[in-house]
Structure 1
Amino acid sequence: MQQSITIDKVLLNIALNLSTSRSHTQQYQSLIEGVAQAFPCDASCLFIFDEDGFLTPVAVKGLMSSVLGQRYFPKAHPRLEAIVQSMQPVRFDADCTLPDPFDGALMSEEYCMDVHDCMGISLYVEGQQVGVLTMDALTVGAFDDIDRVAIETFAAMAAATLRNIGQLQALKAQNQKQQSVTQTLIQQARSQHGEMVGLSPQVNQLRNNIATVAQTDYAVLVTGETGTGKELVAHSVHAQSHRRDKPMIYVNCAALPEGLAESELFGHVKGAFTGANGHRAGKFELADGGTIFLDEVGELPLLLQAKLLRVIQHGELQRVGSDQHLMVNVRIIAATNRQLENEVEAGTFRADLYHRLNVFPIKVPPLRARDGDIPVLAGYLLEKVRQQFNAPNLHVHPKVLTQLEALPWLGNVRELEHTLTRAALHAIQQGVSTLHLHHFDTSLDLDDVKNTSSYFPKESQPLRTLVEDYQRDVIAYALNQTGGVWAKAAEFLQMDRGNLYRMGKKLGVNK
């Protein structure tokens, strides 16, 4: 009787949610919370189908959050395939020999325990399959006494919720669709740069900042350490702006050839200099009506900074060798891993240009400051390896995830991706699907993490001094590891060679 009352209450909450304005994420989570209340399971997962026929988890309970970063192809997972092929609930007893897609992902006091009883049901609305619901229990026979009508009723309500969410998302997508070749190219460019993954408050705040400034034409200065995803932020700002159907032109300021930098930015006319055999538009002209992204803007020489300032102030430029003034309408997004305030103080960056760029600053948090994001990122980043090497069951052992979360990640998301990729390749070579500590570099040793405490000051010191001391030691270490070759040291530290050389020179590293 009590179970019947609980199920009735859960079903009522689901029905009420159908008519609310709650976000789809909240509705997904409400469904999975309802499963835990109504049925005797220790873990559950709600999937939806994506356009490629993969099952994508949208809410979990009792499972590691890394599951949310994965996609599951039913044919690669026999249990999921059996559930998808059946319109009735499917039971898998404790002695079932089919591999479980969540092996190693079930949370418990013992970290990892084998799942005993499992159940799954496909979610249908008017004959259309919209998702899958799975339940796992550590108790043998946990699902023996489940009322068939209760589980089918719950499934019907869950399916209705998924259809409502899908229809709303389809309407929004239709309203936002732009019928132009340019927009298609922009979307392709965005897909190449990935997506912003994370559930932490820091990443949610980052998304809010992007949404706040995107619809304006204000200049945006994106700051953050190497590897945090500054370029991804720039693409997100452009994609959410009213200029999204116009081009976004990328400029790596650190890689601009010294003698041709002005021509690259502003263009030139025929005969302007040796080799100028014709007229050529610069990056700003190409970006007219859209956005220009000035990556590593702190690397621009002072002379070019003055000319850039004029374009920002008046929208006016001159091609090299021309007397004609051209007008452009360009939104500026700049990015740097430098502290430009310090550069202004040192006289290497113009104060007026800094203030023109810093209208709306966005600071991208380092990975070590993103609470709880490493498991989700690990699942997402490993997806590339799974698809590339046809290893759908590849996952990280929970103890390893705990170790990963304890590391400083000085290279941030980029370093995490490279570390996971190397470990995954080692695991695949050995024919195993679980990434253990021995698959990773020695940098995973927590003693290395503890040793970073030597950088903590025993007495009051300026933060800039501490950071520079650490940078100096890291560069020297990288040079020692690579035989004193700057190019190899830059590759070791995953940064541009020119940037590293200038930083080393500034810090007094002589190799």
Structure 2
Amino acid sequence: MTMNAVNALLLTDLAVDLPAGVRQQRLTETLRLHFRCGAVALLRLDGDGEFLRPVAVDGLSSDALGRRFAVKEHPRLAAILRRREITCFHHDSGLPDPYDGLVIERPGEPLHVHDCMGVALDVEGQRWGVLTLDALVVGTFDARARQELAQLVALVEAVVRLTRLEVALRAAQQSAGAPGSGHAASREDGDMVGQSEAIARLLHELQVVADTELPVLLLGETGVGKELFAHRLHRLSRRAARPLVHVNCAALPESLAESELFGHVRGAFSGAVSERPGRFEAAEGGTLFLDEVGELPLALQAKLLRTLQNGEIQRLGADKPKRVDVRVIAATNRSLREQVRDGAFRADLYHRLSVYPIPIPPLRERGNDVLLLAGRFLELNRARLGLRSLRLSAASDEALRRYPWPGNVRELEHVVSRAALKALSRGARRSDIVTLEADQLDLDLGVPAVAAPDAQAAPVPSAGDAAPRSMRGIVDVAQREAIRQALAGHADNWNRAARALEIDPSNLHKLARRLGLKASAGPA
């Protein structure tokens, strides 16, 4: 492809209406074809300039788009960023290449990158990121190639600038001029990894509801990232400049839960030697995130409901209420509908919290996002373990796609971390290009998917059911059977059953709810 043809293609793409991702992808494909190289990547500075994140690649493995390269750990990228001129690294360069083992010109082989050429990109007078080209043939990037890339830099920056403007315009149209949301919406978020339709719908829904003052209930299985999406809601809201306070309701001791949320005055209880504000006051003007809200005791649920209705709190031991201005985002991996039906959660509080429920899709419904997320965790572990390169084999890619991920993103992170350690324990050297094979992932492709919160509950297995596959499952079965036997031996009296099991009654009820056993509203 001649320089005239390259210029014509890029100018045509600038003149027509294309989705942002498509325009940038076409850019990398055109450059790879013209320079006859193994891979081209367009990377954007992220995390206040600490990372470079690929936004479009051609010729790299499927997980490359999910990676985030720490600039301080990749001297080639750092060198390209520092200069405005074309930077080249020849085959005898002693600096490690961030794409070693990721170029797929010959799939399945961990190929070393021989030559590299790159240039820093500026947008509106600020350093935006870099463009990199990698070749497996020595001498690909000769003087003519360097001169041609220098001539194309202005067009590449024009593509980046147009994409940025289009993203900002769409964000402004969605926010409809609401105060505070426009800037936050156009902010590029490095924590969100995924290109699936399911995640795109979710991000759009979060964008729409973020600028309202409505309570939001995030629903999703364990490990889908509810906390991450709560943070995004806060950042996109008009309260972004104010605090976001996170409360793990499951970790609140029942005896101190009211004081933790609403605060207390001096002398309110034994040990209250001074006044103490609660989490609501700490979140004044901002957002309170109630994680695992289904674990709140019933008595505290009533006080939370009053706060949501009236915008007032009352410190434990205080005579007068106090006004607060706080938006509440709640999250649960349980079916609150079932808890309402079983008397474990107040119906009025459920309806108040779920003004706008948002289900977060499980990983098994996000298609190839699993590979992008795997790429993120591969790069994290490569840096953590001091490896030259960490990649997946083709069989591992397929295994990740097929597995149903009952533990979702959290499980994926642990799988990748464990496999990397296992590779080292089997003799891999840190100077090698380490490839994780499917057997190192330890994935049981027969594991059934987990039912989502508020979906129809599956029957709870008894001790005589098929043996569970994990230690957690074995313990759960044993605990269910112990609770059933204690209740049967004490005429379904929960207090007596708790004493027989040598457990606090309130903790017994929490445990029963977690195990899917129908418990009464509280200790008798």
Q: What TM-score bracket applies, with the shorter chain setting the length?
A: 0.7 to 0.9
Q: Is the 8 A contact 1:117 1:142 kept in 2?
A: no
2:8 maps to: 9
- 1:378 corresponds in structure 2 to 374
Instruction: Tell me how far apart the structure 2 counterparts of residues 451 and 483 of structure 1 sit (CA, whole Å).
Output: 17
Alpha-carbon distance change, 288 to 146 in structure 1, aligned in 2, over 3 angstroms: same
Of 350-359 and 217-226, the range deviating more from structure 2: 350-359
Equivalent residues of 2:210, 2:233 under 8 A apart: yes
Match of 1:133 in 2: 131
After TM superposition, the structure 1 = structure 2 runs for residues 244-263 of structure 1, keeping only pairs within 5 Å, are 244-263=240-259
Summarize the Cα distance change of 1:104–1:80 in structure 2 as closer, same or farther, 3 Å threshold. same
The structural deviation recorded for 1:233 is: 1.1
Question: Displacement, 1:384?
Answer: 2.7
Offset from partner CA, 1:395-447 (integer Å, 9 cap, x none): 33332122122112111111111121122223345325424237735x32xxx
Q: Greater helix percent: which structure?
A: 1
Does the C-alpha gap of structure 1 residues 485 and 392 become closer, same or farther in structure 2, counting only changes over 3 Å? farther
- Tell me which amino acid in the other structure corresponds to 1:431: R
Distance 2:64 2:384 in 1: 18
Q: Distance in 2 between matches of 1:76 and 1:286?
A: 37
Question: Residues 132-171 of structure 1: matches in 2 within 5 Å?
Answer: 132-136=130-134, 150-162=148-160
2:326 matched to which residue of 1?
330
Q: Counterpart of 2:515? A: 504
Q: Partner of 1:104 in structure 2?
A: 101
Displacement of 1:507: 7.2
2:395 equivalent in structure 1: 399
Q: Secondary structure at the match of 1:361?
A: strand
Matches within 5 A, 1:92-241: 101-107=98-104, 110-112=107-109, 114=111, 118=115, 120-123=117-120, 131-136=129-134, 150-162=148-160, 195-241=191-237
Question: Are residues 75 and 478 of structure 1, via their aligned partners in 2, closer, same or farther at CA, if it must alter by over 3 Å?
Answer: closer
**Please, which of 30, 37, 41 is the counterpart of residue 34 of structure 1?**
30
Residue 144 of structure 1: how far off its partner (Å): 8.2
| 1:66 CA drift (Å) | 1.5
Q: Partner of 2:357: helix, strand, or coil? A: strand
After TM superposition, the structure 1 = structure 2 runs for residues 264-303 of structure 1, keeping only pairs within 5 Å, are 264-303=260-299
Write the deviation string for residues 33-72 of structure 1: whole angstroms up to 9, x where unpaired. Answer: 3324544345321234555565432210132231123344
Measured in 2, the distance between the counterparts of 1:76 and 1:324 equals: 56
User: 1:308 is matched with which residue: 304, 314, 321?
Assistant: 304
Q: 1:282 Cα deviation (Å)?
A: 2.0
How far off is 1:388 after superposition?
Answer: 2.8
Letter of the structure 1 residue corresponding to residue 216 of structure 2: V
Structure 2 equivalent of residue 440 of structure 1:
440
How many residue pairs are counted as aligned between the two chains?
A: 467
Give the Cα–Cα distance (whole angstroms) in 1 for the partners of residues 64 and 377 of structure 2: 12
State the 1:141 CA deviation. Answer: 8.2
TM-score by length of 2: 0.74
CA contact (8 A) 1:89 1:122 kept: yes
Q: Is the 8 A contact 2:86 2:118 kept in 1?
A: yes
Compared CA separation, residues 96 and 250, structure 1 to 2 (3 A): closer
Distance 1:401 1:466, change over 3 A: same
What is the rounded CA distance, in whole Å, between the counterparts of 1:267 and 1:160 in structure 2?
Answer: 54
The answer on whether the counterparts of 2:63 and 2:371 sit within 8 Å (CA) in structure 1 is: yes
**Structure 2 counterpart of 1:504, one-letter code:** L
Secondary structure (helix, strand or coil) at the match of 2:416 reads: helix
Q: 2 CA distance for matches of 1:463 and 1:314?
A: 31
1:60 to 2:57 alignment: yes
Counterpart of 1:180 in structure 2 is none
The SS at the match of 1:410 is coil
What SS does the corresponding residue of 1:466 show, helix, strand or coil?
Answer: coil
Q: 1:431 aligns with which of 429, 432, 435?
A: 429
Are the structure 2 counterparts of residues 146 and 14 from structure 1 closer, same or farther at C-alpha, using a change threshold of 3 Å?
Answer: farther
Residues 368 and 407, structure 1, Cα contact 8 Å, conserved in 2: yes
How many angstroms apart in 1 are the aligned matches of 2:140 and 2:120?
22
**Aligned partner of residue 506 in structure 1, secondary structure:** coil
Which residue matches 2:456? 464
Aligned partner of residue 254 in structure 1, secondary structure: helix
Show the counterpart of 1:492: none
TM-score (norm. length: structure 1): 0.76
Match of 1:478 in 2: 471
Cα RMSD of the aligned pairs, angstroms, is 4.5
Q: Indicate if the aligned counterparts of 1:43 and 1:137 stay in contact, CA closer than 8 A.
A: yes
Whether the 8 Å CA contact 2:50–2:70 is kept in 1: the answer is yes
- Tell me the CA shift for residue 367 of structure 1: 1.0
The question of whether the paired residues in 2 share the 8 Å contact of 1:116 and 1:136 is answered with yes
Please say which of residues 149-158 and 73-82 is displaced more in the overlay.
73-82
Matched letter for residue 275 of structure 2: H
CA contact (8 A) 1:408 1:449 kept: yes
Q: Residues 122-153 of structure 1, C-alpha deviation per residue, up to 9 Å, x if partnerless? A: 24669997654344567898778976654432
Q: Equivalent pairs: percent with the same residue? A: 41
What are the superposed Cα offsets for residues 93-148 of structure 1, whole Å, 9 maximum, x if unpaired? 7x999865434323468444747875523246699976543445678987789766
> Which residue in 2 is equivalent to 1:176?
none
Separation in 1, partners of 2:214, 2:254 = 29
Tell whether the 8 Å contact from 1:217 to 1:331 is kept in structure 2 after alignment. yes
Question: How far apart are the structure 2 equivalents of 1:497 and 1:402?
Answer: 42
